[in-house]
Amino acid sequence: MFELQDAFARKFHYLRLSVTDVCNFRCQYCLPDGYKPDGRKSFLTLDEIRRLTRAFAAMGTNKVRITGGEPSLRKDFTAIIETVAATPGIRKVATTTNGYRMARQVADWRRAGLSAINVSVDSLDSRMFHQITGENRFQEVMAGIDAAFAAGFEQVKVNTVLMRGLNDGELGRFLAWIKDNPIQLRFIELMQTGEMDELFSRHHVRGALIKEQLLHAGWQQKVRAHSDGPAEVFWHPDYVGEIGLIMPYAKDFCASCNRLRVSSVGKLHLCLFGEQGVELRDLLAEDGHQAALQLRLRQALADKKATHFLHQGQTGMTPHLASIGG
């Protein structure tokens, strides 16, 4: 088997697959004016997703994260989970969701084979949640997290984008929340994308500041495992939950990159930032193109760059994260 590996000897066992660009939230840092439908776009079908996952799995991918846009807006979302989970070689199927459908559907997702779930919760104050996400759905999302535990998930990961002047005073509240709950709370540094104006300079907070506070309060850093995502994870003997920090601007963030992305229209993105993507869709129409698809993936990987160059202020081609599955 040829494994997905780049010129820097990084291996890629983890695929982030976007299944739609559509989102029903209007997060200030992503789609503040809401999703604008683009009639020309058609998102990957279930069959295309099946062929794509098969090719990646044949090349060593064992974990797939289904994302978007808001992936649970797809009517066939449960079938997508089932299809990905049934692919030989795939051991872990995760999703990232805004959580608004979880209370009603998370048990079905679990039965379909979902093994891990990340929910975005930018504030524990319902008014602030509304202000950041554009939607007054805090209670629904929290009920969704309860439903995930009730459905049998042992841990839920929560994504919180750190924003100065909005939620950056909530550390104490978040810590109290995870004291007795098996939640891995992941603070994500705000990333600058192509459509952002002054929002980044107004609200960006360095994750390193939180790291200092955590270490000071007795939190300890865990050793990173091979299939882990991009977070630095911290634990504390008095807490059931954990804290993750995702700091894309930190030195060496890219050195441990183990992720590839495929957009909702079937383009391979070697990095969240900075390139146009490699077309795969022409090879997804039939089962017979598997060998050609694998060859294209292999050739594309030879071009993956060492880093995203965000440090140099490059925001690249990515207008907002919903467009290629953040």
Task: Out of 29, 43, 109, 129, point to the residue binding ligand SAM (CB under 6 A).
Answer: 29
Q: How far is the CB of 208 from ligand SAM (least distance, A)?
A: 16
Query: What is the C-alpha to C-alpha distance for residues 265 and 249, in angstroms, rounded to an integer?
Result: 28
Q: Among residues 28, 83, 123, 159, which is the contact residue for ligand SAM, using CB under 6 A? A: 159
Q: With binding defined as CB under 6 A, does residue 161 bind ligand SAM? A: yes
Strands 14-18 and 259-262: parallel
Which positions ≥6 away from 89 have C-beta within 8 Å? 57, 58, 60, 61, 62
Among the residue ranges 62-70, 80-88, 172-180, 267-275, the one whose residues contact ligand SAM (CB under 6 A): 62-70
Q: Does 193 bind ligand SAM (CB under 6 A)?
A: yes
Chosen residue from 30, 132, 147, 247 binding ligand SAM by CB under 6 A: 30
How many Å apart are CA 21 and CA 26, to the nearest integer?
13
167 binds ligand SAM (CB under 6 A): no
By CB under 6 A, residue 21 contacts ligand SAM: no
Among 53, 67, 123, 307, binds ligand SAM (CB under 6 A): 67
| Residues forming beta bridges with residue 232, ordered by sequence position | 245
Q: 207 Cβ partners below 8 Å, 6+ apart?
A: 162, 187, 188, 189, 245, 246, 247, 250
Of 4, 17, 23, 297, the one binding ligand SAM by CB under 6 A: 23
Which three-class secondary structure string do you get for 89-155? CCCEEEEEECCCCHHHHHHHHHHHCCCEEEEECCCCCHHHHHHHHCCCCHHHHHHHHHHHHHCCCCC
Site for ligand SAM contains 190 (CB under 6 A): yes
Query: Would you count residue 97 as binding ligand SAM (CB under 6 A)?
Result: yes
Kindly list the residues in this chain that would bind ligand SAM in the complex (CB under 6 A): 23, 29-30, 67-68, 70, 96-98, 120, 159, 161, 188, 190-191, 193, 321-322, 326
